[in-house]
């Protein structure tokens, strides 16, 4: 075979490899995984650009409009599009005891990309409540958008820390063996034997209530990461025990590579496929952990917001019956958890040759 033919074959292989990453995953993934990826991307972008997406400061109060229901957005007639494509009706508080509002005939025009917001009112003094307000008159949509920053980032940061620890400790334990392996595995078994939720409650109670939410956030991430690495380390150890006897590892040793180089360059990367899938499936656990702590009043504190903290207001049965929009944070948590699960299943199918029906 000529050199030109070999070059063409190598180029084809490189193209196939480049196309087999995201493009192959997108082709193979079913509609649940595609919808999940789009949904998570939308949530992440909204949280990342929260100052532009949220119409108001999440801590800004409107005491005259507590528990305002979500406003209905209307499409203006074509002849009025020069004034604004969308509008809502101004409301008035008809019954302060029952929190009953009535729409008036006055219209509030909406504008896109005005005053640094994606969607806001043309009149800066007018108010737009897309998802209503809470008991203090704070815009619920703005609090949801800013709350997504904490609820989503806790899962990503927690997984990044715990999986880095789990992979490094598990790989070291499996590759070195001996007494070090024995001590590390007994420590992981102790951590795995702890009842996770009750351990979280115990540690969260120790956290002083006077701490600012930023420190509370860091402590929650540290607690969740401290618990999460042990299970992964044990599985990675098993993977490394099988990988360290493979031919390419033995060949690297025979060529004089140090143990650290063999571990970092050859053994640890062999665990990445499993780690990526496992991390995707583990993120919902971190989100639920933060939500549970905030729901019980042991996590993020008011006036900061997270989805778990916002859902805590729905504990009041009267509020639950009359102000159903307070349940929206629970819906967002459910959608996020399901999206990560669908995405993790699709990644597992994509990375496992047996599930793809290939050898």
Span 173-204, pLDDT tens digits: 888 888 888 898 888 888 888 777 677 667 66
Domains of the chain: 56-121 (no CATH), 140-356 (1.10.3720.10)
pTM of the model: 0.79
pLDDT grade, residue 2 (50/70/90)?
A: very low
| Rounded mean pLDDT, 261-281 | 76
**Strand blocks (E) in 218-346:** none
DSSP one-letter string for 142-181: HHHHHHHHHHHHHHHHHHHHHHHHHHHHHHHHHHH-HHHH
Does 356 have pLDDT greater than 60? Answer: no
| Rounded mean pLDDT, 259-266 | 74
State the pLDDT at residue 260. 74
pLDDT grade, residue 11 (50/70/90)?
A: very low
Cα dihedral sign, 184-190-195-201:
negative
More confident residue, 319 or 60: 60
DSSP-assigned letter for residue 70? P
Q: What's the CA gap between 300 and 308, in Å, rounded?
A: 8
Q: What is the percent of the chain with per-residue pLDDT over 90, rounded to a whole number?
A: 14
Torsion of Cα atoms, 172 then 175 then 179 then 184, to 10°: 40
Summarised one tens digit per residue, pLDDT across range 125-166 is 888 999 999 888 899 999 999 999 888 888 888 888 888 888
Summarised one tens digit per residue, pLDDT across range 308-340 is 888 887 777 777 788 888 889 889 989 998 888
DSSP-assigned letter for residue 266? I
Q: What's the CA gap between 309 and 305, in Å, rounded?
A: 6
């Amino acid at each position: 075979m000529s050199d030109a033919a070999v070059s063409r074959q190598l180029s084809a292989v490189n193209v196939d490899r480049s196309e087999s990453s995201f493009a192959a995953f997108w082709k193979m993934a079913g509609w649940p995984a595609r919808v999940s990826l789009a949904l998570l991307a939308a949530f992440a972008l909204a949280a990342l650009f929260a100052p532009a997406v949220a119409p108001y400061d999440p801590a800004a109060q409107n005491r005259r409009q507590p528990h305002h229901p979500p406003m209905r957005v209307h499409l203006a007639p074509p002849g009025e599009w020069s004034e604004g494509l969308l509008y809502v009706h101004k409301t008035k508080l008809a019954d302060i005891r029952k929190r009953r509002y009535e729409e008036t005939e006055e219209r509030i025009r909406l504008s896109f990309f005005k005053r640094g917001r994606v969607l806001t009112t043309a009149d800066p003094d007018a108010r737009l409540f897309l998802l209503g307000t809470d008991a203090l008159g704070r815009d619920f949509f703005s609090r949801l958008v800013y709350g997504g920053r904490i609820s989503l980032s806790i899962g990503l940061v927690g997984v990044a820390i715990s999986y880095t620890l789990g992979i490094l400790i598990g790989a070291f334990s499996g590759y070195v063996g001996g007494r070090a392996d024995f001590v590390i595995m007994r420590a992981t078994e102790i951590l795995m034997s702890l009842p996770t939720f009750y351990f979280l409650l115990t540690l969260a109670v120790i956290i002083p209530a006077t701490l600012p939410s930023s420190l509370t956030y860091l402590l929650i991430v540290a607690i969740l990461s401290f618990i999460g690495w042990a299970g992964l380390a044990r599985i990675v150890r098993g993977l490394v025990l099988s990988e360290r006897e493979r031919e390419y590892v033995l060949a690297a040793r025979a060529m004089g590579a140090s143990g650290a180089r063999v571990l970092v360059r050859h053994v640890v990367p062999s665990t990445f496929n499993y780690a990526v899938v496992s991390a995707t499936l583990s993120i919902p656990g971190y989100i639920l952990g933060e939500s549970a702590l905030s729901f019980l009043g042991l996590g993020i504190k008011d006036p900061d917001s997270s989805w778990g903290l916002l859902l805590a207001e729905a504990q009041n049965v009267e509020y639950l019956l009359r102000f159903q929009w307070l349940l929206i944070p629970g819906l967002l948590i459910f959608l996020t958890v399901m999206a990560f699960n669908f995405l993790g299943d699709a990644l597992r199918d994509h990375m496992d040759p047996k599930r793809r029906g290939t050898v």
